[in-house]
């Protein structure tokens, strides 16, 4: 059974809807790409956040990913796989950011969407509205511990766990995004879960 994608007709196959939107966007229909942004905005920011651990950086990564996707639509051969292609771009940009960033505090993911106006068109594609500043709300100890444990995972384990366990993507899809075998995805998820279980043991005792 196909997963429903926000912004599509419930009776329409999401992959086909993506392909149709991509085709229209390639032909110069700006509203078509806006549709794709609406469908994947939240997932793009969520995946980026889980990989970089910072709300503002996640917004920047997602923005960059959509701009790159917008520019590269003509090179996408399988238009029904726009979602997986976009998540590959998001993941690669997020990992590049992690390798080059300076350490800093992270804030909860939900603050990225509170009052956000979404994406606004820029001259070269789209722009993500900046998330509002944190309101200082307390985050419970478990949430902080989970974020810290995720932050300390090796890159591949973090990506596999994020895409498969957090985002609920099929293992085959995760393997395509990561450019590896399904078995390697399974191994990375297993190792990540084992590490997380140890690091969070005090909350399960």
Q: State the angle between helix axes of 55-72 and 30-52 in degrees (0 to 180), rounded to the nearest 10.
A: 140
pLDDT at 35: 94
pLDDT at 68: 94
Predicted model pTM: 0.67
d(CA 1, CA 9) in angstroms, rounded, equals 15
pLDDT at 166: 80
How many structural domains are present in the chain? 2
CATH number at residue 161: 1.10.10.10
| 191 shares a domain with 119 | no
pLDDT at 138: 39
| 104 shares a domain with 169 | no
| 147 shares a domain with 93 | no
- In tens digits, the chain (205 residues) has pLDDT values of 334 445 555 556 888 999 999 999 999 998 999 999 999 999 999 999 888 888 899 999 999 999 999 999 999 999 999 998 999 899 989 988 877 764 444 444 444 333 333 344 443 444 433 333 344 433 467 778 887 888 888 888 988 988 888 888 889 888 988 888 999 999 999 999 999 888 888 776 6
| 89 shares a domain with 16 | yes
Look up tokens 């399988």; give the residue.
78
CA atoms within 13 A on the CB side of 184: 11
84 membership: H or E segment, kind and range: helix 82-100
| 63 shares a domain with 5 | yes
Give the domain range for residue 193: 138-205
């Amino acid at each position: 059974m196909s997963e429903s994608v926000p912004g599509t007709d419930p009776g329409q196959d999401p992959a086909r809807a993506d392909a149709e939107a991509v085709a229209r966007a390639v032909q110069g229909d700006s509203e078509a790409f806006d549709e794709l942004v609406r469908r994947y905005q939240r997932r793009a920011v969520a995946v980026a956040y889980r990989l970089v651990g910072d709300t503002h950086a996640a917004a920047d990564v997602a923005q960059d990913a959509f701009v790159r996707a917008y520019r590269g639509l003509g090179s996408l051969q399988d238009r029904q796989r726009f979602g997986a292609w976009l998540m590959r771009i998001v993941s690669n940009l997020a990992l590049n950011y992690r390798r080059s960033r300076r350490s800093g505090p992270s804030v909860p993911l939900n603050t990225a969407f509170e009052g956000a106006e979404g994406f606004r068109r820029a001259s070269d594609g789209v722009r993500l509205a900046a998330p509002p500043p944190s309101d200082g709300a307390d985050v419970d100890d478990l949430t902080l511990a989970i974020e810290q444990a995720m932050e300390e995972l090796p890159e591949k384990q973090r990506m596999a766990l994020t895409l498969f366990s957090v985002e609920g993507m099929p293992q085959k899809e995760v393997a395509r995004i990561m450019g590896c075998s399904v078995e390697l995805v399974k191994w990375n998820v297993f190792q990540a879960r084992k590490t997380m279980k140890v690091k969070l043991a005090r909350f399960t005792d």
